[in-house]
Copies of this chain bind each other. A is one copy, B any other.
């Protein structure tokens, strides 16, 4: 992950709707969800949802594949992980205070 990619990812998840889509796709796991299911879940119009999904796709956060008439969107967990690593290492130089928050039993 480079700076340009990280900036696009941050911009993408700084929208309340898109962050909600991300959380939804985390729960959906590797199966993903169709654009229509996502639209229904977040209560947005199809065109608005499509706009947000292409934003997330351009940011590399999601992948899409057509299944018959529907298009399935899946979260790219590796990209989210790479973003975490970018903050932790490239930005924060492995600062111990920041790093402590990333362990399950961390005092944070």
Contact = CB atoms under 8 A, between A and B. Distances in A.
Interface of A: 3, 6-7, 10-11, 13-16, 19, 22-23, 26-27, 77-78, 80-85, 87-88, 90-95, 97-104, 106, 108
Given A10-B14, A14-B10, A77-B97, A102 B104 contact: no
Work out how many copies of this chain go into the complex: 2
Nearest to A98: B81
Contacts of A103: 102
Nearest to A19: B7
A88 B88 CA distance: 12
B84 A22 contact: no
A24 to B, nearest CB: 10
A81 B108 contact: yes
Contacts of A27: 93
